[in-house]
Amino acid sequence: MRFQKIMIPAASLPTAVLAGLLAGVAPPVAARAPQATPPASTDDRCSHFRFPADAERRLFAGPVGTTAVAGRRPGRGPVLALGRLYQLRLKPFPGVRLAGPPFVDPGPGSYAGLARFTVPATGRYRVSADGAVWLDLVVDGVSRPALGFSGSPGCFAPHKIVVFALEAGQDVVVQVTGSGRETLRLGLTAEQ
What is the rounded CA–CA span in Å between residue 62 and residue 2?
Answer: 47
Cis peptide before 158 (omega within 30 of 0): yes
Q: Is 165 a member of any domain? A: yes
Q: How many domains does the chain have?
A: 1
Q: Is 80 a member of any domain? A: yes
Q: Is 27 a member of any domain? A: no
| Pick from 25-29, 129-133, 174-178: least confident | 25-29
Q: Is 172 a member of any domain? A: yes
Q: Is 17 a member of any domain? A: no
Q: Is 183 a member of any domain? A: yes
Q: What share of the chain is helix, strand, coil (3-state, %, to 5)?
A: 15, 35, 50
Q: For residue range 142-162, what is the model confidence (pLDDT) as tens digits?
A: 999 999 888 877 888 898 989
What is the rounded CA–CA span in Å between residue 34 and residue 60?
Answer: 19
pLDDT for position 33: 34
pLDDT over 90 for what percent of the chain?
Answer: 56
pLDDT for position 119: 97
Q: Which domain holds residue 156?
A: 39-190
For the cut 70, the answer to whether the pLDDT of residue 3 exceeds it is no
Q: For residue range 37-69, what is the model confidence (pLDDT) as tens digits?
A: 333 445 577 777 778 888 898 999 999 999 999
| Pick from 102-106, 117-121, 183-187: least confident | 102-106
How much is the mean pLDDT over the chain?
80
For the cut 50, the answer to whether the pLDDT of residue 29 exceeds it is no
Residue with the bigger pLDDT between 48 and 164: it is 164
Do 106 and 134 contact (CB within 8 A), yes or no? yes
Domain holding 71: CATH number?
2.60.120.380
Q: What is the DSSP letter of 32?
A: S
Do 147 and 165 contact (CB within 8 A), yes or no? yes
One-letter amino acid at 171 equals: D
Q: Is 115 a member of any domain? A: yes
Do 65 and 84 contact (CB within 8 A), yes or no? yes
| H-only helix segments in 30-166 | 54-61
For the cut 80, the answer to whether the pLDDT of residue 81 exceeds it is yes
For the cut 90, the answer to whether the pLDDT of residue 18 exceeds it is no
Q: Is 64 a member of any domain? A: yes
pLDDT for position 155: 80
